[in-house]
Amino acid sequence: MEYMDPEGNRYWIENYDPEVHRSDLVPVPTGE
């Protein structure tokens, strides 16, 4: 799933893990 940080940078993360990945990411709706 693709995520975006507050600065607009995008990340592809297969399995989000709050202990590994930054907490301020929000999912990017599919197709955006």
Residue 27 engages another protein in binding (rule: CB under 8 A): no
Based on the shown chain and the rule CB under 8 A, indicate whether residue 32 belongs to the binding site for another protein. no
Residue type, 12: W
What is the closest distance, in whole angstroms, from the C-beta atom of residue 7 to another protein in the complex? 11
What are residue 10's DSSP bridge partners? 4
Grouping H, G, I as helix, E, B as strand and the rest as coil, residue 7 is coil
Window 6-25: residues binding another protein (CB under 8 A): 9-15, 17, 20-23, 25
Task: Report in angstroms the alpha-carbon separations of 16 from 2, 5, 9, 32.
Answer: 10, 14, 16, 19
The residues of the shown chain that bind another protein, judged by CB under 8 A, are 2-3, 5, 9-15, 17, 20-23, 25
